[in-house]
Structure 1
Amino acid sequence: MASSPASDAAKRPGAARSLSLKGRALRYLSAREHSRAELQTKLARYAAEAGEDAQAVARVLDELTAKGFISEARVAESVVHRRAGRLGNARVLQELRAKGLPDDIVQGAAEQLRATEDERAYAVWARKFGRPPADLAERARQMRFLAGRGFSGASVARVMRTATRGADERSDPFAADLE
């Protein structure tokens, strides 16, 4: 009678626990992209409860990185794709830093986002408000909303100028600002 892989793992000392850590890491990765630092934090918590040491977590993370399951570039791309449509550069970059991504990847994402911030800010403004502010109080409220979403002051000012100028009259509301 052939033995099952589970019973083989149980015969090796420490194998079941490392498989458990690896299985947990793969479960996290199957839900969404995680940076190495995020997985380190989550698995360290789990390993402490299971009586594992930090070296076991490091071995699992090294193995997953070597196999390409953990990719900092994919994490950045995923965050930018999911969040850039609703948030400004500052908030997206804050999320990337919170995930423990290296500075070079964060800077690459910043360059990518910088090119589209005005258009994204205008799209967020149009979805939320859609019409120019009626008075100064409304203008301030709209500006605070965009600033709270992480858009730069310059982008907020350009959106408000475009909104009061009448964006419906032009096909590209930011063409004049770029000249």
Structure 2
Amino acid sequence: MRPKQQKLTLKNRALNYLSLREHSRLELGRKLARYAEEGDDVEALLDFLEKAKFLSSERFSEALVRRRSESYGNSRILAELQTHNLDPELMAQSKAELAETEVARACAAWQKKFGHLALANSSDSDSSDPDSIQSSREQRAKQFRFLAQRGFSSNAIKIALRGIVDDVDQFDS
């Protein structure tokens, strides 16, 4: 038989959450509020965790950007960061970091989803057929929508679909 599980204190629960991944102050506060009892002061605990460097908005922002940047574009990542009520200066810093790599990330997302089409299209020799031109337009529209839904800017998508990765200077965020 298993012994009864001990009731976790609010502080231990917070440390357990933070040991799994970084959390924003708002997010951790919401999670802890569910378990707070009448005498518990969640805000004081969050202040303590920040002072002890267990809870950090900078680390949270970096971790979220790192986790989401492989698959998503700037607008989607920044929208998610905004939901966590982060410092505007931290948001501006994240935006600047993301802008540098958006085209490359759009190309990587396209390659992951549609890379198999590049091989199939290179083997097609009759590209003047009206049906294949229409099909090609439909495919490009589908690819554009996919990347747009992922939060990439239209400029980054156009450059990625053209395959112009080397000339990033054309891209303005």
What TM-score, normalized by structure 1, do the two folds share? 0.76
**Which position in structure 1 is the counterpart of 2:29?**
40
Q: Indicate the SS of the match to 1:101.
A: coil
**Which position in structure 2 is the counterpart of 1:143?**
144
* AA at the equivalent of 1:81: R
User: How many residues are paired up?
Assistant: 148
User: Is the 8 Å Cα contact of residues 103 and 168 (structure 2) preserved in structure 1?
Assistant: no
Identify, as 1 or 2, the structure richer in helix: 1
User: Is the 8 Å Cα contact of residues 38 and 100 (structure 1) preserved in structure 2?
Assistant: no
* AA at the equivalent of 2:94: A
Distance in 1 (CA, whole Å) between partners of 2:94 and 2:74 is 9
**Which position in structure 2 is the counterpart of 1:51?**
38
Q: Report which stretch shifted further, 58-67 or 143-152.
A: 58-67
Q: Indicate the SS of the match to 1:86.
A: coil
**Which position in structure 2 is the counterpart of 1:166?**
none
* 1:113 equivalent in alignment to 2:102: no
Q: Deviations over 1:96-121 (max 9, x none)?
A: 11222111111100000000100110
- Unmatched runs of 5 consecutive residues or more in structure 1: 1-16, 163-172
* AA at the equivalent of 1:85: E
**Which position in structure 1 is the counterpart of 2:130?**
none
Distance in 2 (CA, whole Å) between partners of 1:106 and 1:176 is 27
Q: How does 1:147-158 map to 2 (within 5 A)?
A: 147-158=148-159
- Residue 126 of structure 1 deviates from its aligned partner by 1.0
**Which position in structure 1 is the counterpart of 2:12?**
23
Distance in 2 (CA, whole Å) between partners of 1:67 and 1:135 is 57
Q: Deviations over 1:6-58 (max 9, x none)?
A: xxxxxxxxxxx9x71111111111111011111111112221xx3345xx111
Q: How does 1:56-67 map to 2 (within 5 A)?
A: 56-67=41-52
- Residue 177 of structure 1 deviates from its aligned partner by 5.2
Distance in 1 (CA, whole Å) between partners of 2:43 and 2:112 is 45
Q: Alignment identity in percent?
A: 43
User: Is the 8 Å Cα contact of residues 24 and 55 (structure 2) preserved in structure 1?
Assistant: yes
Q: Deviations over 1:100-147 (max 9, x none)?
A: 211111110000000010011011101111126951111100000000
Over aligned residue pairs, what C-alpha RMSD do you find? 1.9
**Which position in structure 2 is the counterpart of 1:125?**
110
- Unmatched runs of 5 consecutive residues or more in structure 2: 1-6, 122-132
Residue number among 69, 93, 98 corresponding to 1:84 in the alignment: 69
Q: Deviations over 1:64-119 (max 9, x none)?
A: 11100010000011011111011100111111112221111111000000001001
Q: Indicate the SS of the match to 2:156.
A: helix
Highest relative contact order (Cα 8 Å, sep 6+), 1 or 2? 2
